[in-house]
Chain A
Amino acid sequence: MATAVADRTDERPSPLSDTVVVRFAGDSGDGMQLTGGQFTLSTALAGNDLATFPDFPAEIRAPQGTLFGVSAFQINFGSSEINTAGDAPDVLVAMNPAALKTNVPPLKPGGLIIADEGEFNDRNLAKAKYESNPLEDGSLAKWQLLKLNISQATMDAVKPFGLGNKEALRCKNMWTLGLALWMFDRDRQPLIDWLKAKFAKAPELADANIAALNAGHAFGETAELSGPLKQHHVDPAPVAPGLYRTLTGAEAIALGLVAGAQLAHLPMFFGGYPITPASAILHHLSRLKEYDVTTFQAEDEIAAICAAIGASYGGSLGVTSSSGPGIALKGEAMGLAIMTELPLVIVNSQRGGPSTGLPTKTEQSDLYQAVYGRNGDAPMPVIAARSPGDAFDCAIEACRIATQYMTPVMLLTDGYIANAAEPWRVPDLAGYEPFPVEFLTEVPEGGFKPYGRDEKLARPWVKPGTPSLLHRIGGIEKEVDTGHLNYQPANHQAMTDLRKAKIDGIRIPDQIVELGAEGGRLAVVGWGSTFGPIHQAVRRKRAEGVDVSHIHIRHIWPLPGNLGELLKSYDKVIVPEMNTGQLKTVLRDQYLVDARPLNKVSGQPFRIAEIEAAIEEALA
């Protein structure tokens, strides 16, 4: 399906004006994430395909006006398929000097800068380490510059509502949004409705924000003829029919876990501990009690996973989630879940590492940790989501494998997927095959064996409270079948082999080629959130007639059964990753293929052009 759609668009390279990249940048107190979020919604409602990239500092309230306090939100939208937040912005909205300084370099030559000149005073220029005012000194000559005193215009617009200076200036983002909505011919009404609902208890704030929004919009209408500002209509994208909404990765995982538990016919228990960027999953789930979800904010990461394992032992679907440092703390407990063969889903929203690293920036550097990061021979399935929408399906898949194979499963996502939004066609749940869990409730023929196995090598799941099936489990090596303590060499060999065979035998779909032919000159192999830039780069190159294919791996462990042969059918393989080459190493180890790395660990997603360049280089 994906290939069919892709092949059609392959024939028709997208003209530039079809897609637009806008970047909103301001101080972290300026409400840029909210502005971006609302602009995203209006974009989705206009029927454009889109992808977003929120880029914010780790500090909650970084000192105002500073370079490290800049918060930005980038959105790429258009009338054709969009997979990335876009390489270079066409439009940059800069709310202060620091935002301009940190965000102007990638702006396309000839791109439009809208700057709030009201904030370009000596104090803010000094904080941004500008020696002269860039709005005046000609240093922005390669771009179109539109200087507006947004601060003053906002103050004027909200004057009738009697707000204090500080509160009045808070409406700046709405003025800016109003202008942006005019620029791209968007309906203001959904936003007005949203503001009324948000400020239901403070109608004067709702009115002030709406006035600012309308003023920004009106400014666009009246100023159109006199400067670089032009209204630009982007047609709706041709997407599959259906009901759509926008979805972030964190929402997708929360919903996917609920769906997974329902398909397994189990209550869900979620144990979490606050950590960026994984906390959002806990926040979403804690509001879904009516779906038989219990959430538990534990005293630490270890308690969070241990409580989840305890709940799985009791017959719930135990889930825990964290980011790299927290996942490291959970390692010992994962080993116990592997030893006691209990179902568990562990979500890792990866971020830049090692140690605390880059808490709000994205990276894919926990693949080794996921696949290999435990003591002993401790095999565990690993699944990686490629996008917010895909995270929904991956979460269901993780629940399926965990409950059907009695094993912990790690689901990898990352900060980019967790925070980014994309339009999502709401799936029909009836289309998902249920996988109801059958607990063992009576002594089976031949007697009860706590570590006896079914055809999938999974052991029986028995809930405490079940008469006649009393037994003990634990982390000490288990005897084959009986589960008694056993330190004998032959038994440990047998149990180690069994644990490995169970995971190796997990039934997963064969690897497909996302774009291009099976076999050929070059395969670009990715996993996780690099899907977008790889897909677009391969598409563009194929449109130029280059023989290149895109393969994107969801099942990181065990790997798809056909993957080795598939990779060997290409002359060359390159593996773009936001790490120093982790999947590349696994592929080399598993298949002895000459996979070449393409690495980026700047905390920013790949740009399409970077992958295009790597394709050119590989085929040169």
Chain B
Amino acid sequence: MNEMTTIAKTTLKDWESDQEVRWCPGCGDYAILKAVQRTMPETGTPPERTVFISGIGCSSRFPYYMETYGFHTIHGRAPAFATGLKLANPDLDVWIVTGDGDGLSIGGNHTMHLIRRNLDCQIMLFNNEIYGLTKGQYSPTSRVGTSSPSTPYGSVDRPAQPCAFALGAGARFVARGFDVSKELPNVLKAAHAHKGAAFIEIFQNCIVYNKDVFEDFAAPKGAEDRQLWLKQGEPMLFAKGAKGIALDNEALELKVVDVIDGDWQTAGVIVHDATNRSVAHMLVEMRFGEFPMALGVLYDDPRPTFEADVWRQNEAAAEGKTADLQSLLKKGQTWTVKEGGPDL
């Protein structure tokens, strides 16, 4: 086999399908779509080996707009389809597109189990804290008091925290970004580079039903004070280096510290080690307001993937056996009946 496999270089345009994009004008999904299309040429995977799988909701229309293979499935179940597909063909590069309702409400169970099993795929959860496609009901990530057609007096239940959920389910990669962020392609690239289930929460602005709900940290003005972009091996600094995240050794929780003259070491600022699971647990629980919003790759520590383990076990179990179905049919105790009666 001297066959050369060269992967033709692609550009953003090669990843755009001929389908008319049907999101509301100004929707954050447009920016995410562009960020993904910008990322794809750098993944090294050709379009024909790339599959986008989605559930139901605004975000789940995504596969139609990608010039790849795509499967727009049913509400909440994209992880299950992805699992079957990857087990059938582990060579495919699978991206799951879901939302806060699709992935955490009706499909929360599948999201949990996909992460637990560590199927090699990227899960992009577009979190807009609202049900957009069904016209604005509150969602499992809506903040308490969210007024919506189904909660005219405000929602009373506490919101789920997607990244804490993912980490709790056993995720080996957890990242955060937001729709219009220039950093989003880098986050997506890191997710793709991670072998295993890579969970990415992407804050997405629903301009019709939950407009600017993330402006408190996503607005460009003052962003440096409200966003903590995590970088492997670098101190957790924000506010142009004037503040940092340190460990409160007595309370055993994170705290914001002032950094004087750039001396973050003295201030006790933590150096980001994405393989530190304990710190990751604290980062996903950081309350915005008291703390900046933690963004970027919060946690990244791969371990063997589900489909690789399944294939390995299948191959080991089949080792040295021949698939002779005719002899399998005869397995167990048999007897022969000859013409004129049984022969025992």
Question: Contacts A310-B83, A429-B326, A471-B69: A46 and B344 contacting too (C-beta < 8 A)?
Answer: yes
Is B321 at the interface (CB under 8 A from chain A)? yes
B158 contacts A by Cβ under 8 Å:
no
Chain A: CB-nearest residue to B311: A294
Interface residue A308 (Cβ < 8 Å from any Cβ of B): yes
Known: A240-B337, A332-B74, A475-B73. Is A290-B89 also a contact (CB below 8 A)?
A: no
5 sampled A-B residue pairs with Cβ under 8 A: A290-B323, A294-B310, A464-B85, A465-B48, A472-B72
B contact residues around A312 at 8 Å (CB): 84, 88
User: In whole Å, how far is A282's beta carbon from the nearest beta carbon of chain B?
Assistant: 15
Known: A298-B113, A429-B326, A473-B70. 12 other contacts (CB 8 A): A47-B342, A243-B330, A244-B334, A245-B335, A255-B329, A290-B322, A300-B109, A464-B92, A471-B70, A474-B63, A475-B72, A476-B72
- A464 in contact with B84 given A289-B317, A290-B317, A306-B73 (CB within 8 Å): no
Contact with B along A282-299 (1 / 0, CB 8 A): 000000111110101011
Question: Which residue on chain B has the smallest CB distance to residue A41?
Answer: B333
Q: Does A470 contact B (CB under 8 A)?
A: yes
Knowing A294-B87, A296-B87, say if A258 contacts B325 (CB, 8 Å).
Answer: yes
Chain B hits for A484, CB < 8 A: 19
Please provide the chain B residues from 222 to 281 with a CB less than 8 Å away from any CB of chain A in the complex. Answer: none
* B342 cross-chain contacts in A, Cβ below 8 A: 46-47, 236, 239
Contacts of A474 in B (CB 8 A): 63-64, 70-73
Given contacts A258-B325, A464-B89, are A306 and B337 in contact (CB under 8 A)?
Answer: no
Residues of A within 8 A of B317 (CB): 289-290
Select one of A46, A241, A294 contacting B88, CB under 8 A: A294
Report whether A307 and B48 are in contact in the complex, using a CB–CB cutoff of 8 Å.
no
Residues on the A chain within 8 Å of B336, using CB: 241-244
With most chain B CB atoms within 10 A of its CB, the pick from A288, A300, A307, A472 is A472
Check B17 against A311 for contact (C-beta < 8 Å). no
B333 touches A307 (CB 8 A): no
Chain A residues contacting B314 (CB-CB under 8 Å) are 289, 294
User: CA–CA, A190 to B332, complex, Å?
Assistant: 11
Query: Does A306 lie within 8 Å of B51, measured CB to CB?
Result: no
Instruction: Point out residues on A near B: beta carbons under 8 Å.
Output: 41, 44-47, 187, 190, 236, 238-246, 255, 258-259, 262, 267, 269, 271, 288-292, 294, 296, 298-300, 302-304, 306-316, 318, 332-333, 335-336, 340, 425-429, 463-476, 484-485
Provide the residues of chain A in CB contact with B41, threshold 8 Å.
none
The 5 closest A-B pairs by CB, nearest first: A474-B72, A310-B84, A47-B342, A307-B84, A314-B88
The residue on A at minimum CB distance from B49 is A465
- Contact A465 B80, CB 8 Å, known A245-B333, A300-B109: no
> Given A310-B80, A310-B82, A470-B67, are A243 and B334 also a contact pair (CB < 8 Å)?
yes
From the candidates A255, A302, A304, name the one contacting B328 in the complex (CB within 8 A).
A255
* Contact call B48/A318, Cβ cutoff below 8 A: no
B147 close to A (CB within 8 Å): no
B88 A316 Cβ-Cβ under 8 A:
yes
Chain A residues near B109 (CB-CB < 8 A): 299-300, 303
List chain B residues, Cβ under 8 A from A464: 48-49, 51, 69, 85, 89, 92
CA distance A307 to B79 in the complex (A): 8
Instruction: State the CA gap A340–B333 with chains docked (Å).
Output: 44
* Contacting residues, chain B, for A340 (C-beta < 8 A): 71
Q: Which residues of A contact B74 (CB under 8 A)?
A: 306, 332-333, 335-336, 475
Contact mask B129-168 → A, CB, 8 Å, 1/0?
A: 0000000000000000000000000000000000000000
Give every chain B residue within 8 A of A311 (Cβ-Cβ).
Answer: 84-85, 87-88
- If the complex has contacts A239-B337, A464-B69, A465-B91, are A303 and B80 also in contact, measured as CB distance less than 8 A? yes
How far apart are B141's CB and chain A's nearest CB, in angstroms?
Answer: 22
B316 to chain A, nearest CB (A): 8
A238 to B341, CA, bound (A): 6
Closest beta carbon of chain B to A37's beta carbon, Å: 11
B77 in the interface (beta carbon within 8 A): yes
Q: Which residues of B are found within 8 Å of A240, using beta-carbon distances? A: 337
When the two chains form their complex, are residues A472 and B64 in contact, meaning their CB atoms are under 8 A apart?
A: yes
* A470: B residues at CB distance < 8 A: 47-48, 67-69
User: How far, in Å, is B64 (CB) from chain A's closest CB?
Assistant: 5
Least CB separation from A194: chain B residue: B333
B46 within 8 A of A: yes
CA A311 – CA B307 in complex, angstroms?
Answer: 12
Let me know if B4 is at the binding interface, CB within 8 A.
no
Q: Is B110 in the interface zone, CB < 8 Å from A?
A: yes
Does B217 sit within 8 A of A, measured CB to CB? no
CA distance A463 to B56 in the complex (A): 23
Is B290 positioned at the interface, with any CB of A under 8 Å from its CB?
no
- Assess whether B64 is in contact with A318, with CB atoms less than 8 Å apart: no
Q: Decide if A426 touches B71 in the complex (CB within 8 Å).
A: no
Contacts of A289 in B (CB 8 A): 313-315, 317-318
B17's partner among A46, A472, A476 (CB-CB below 8 A) is A472
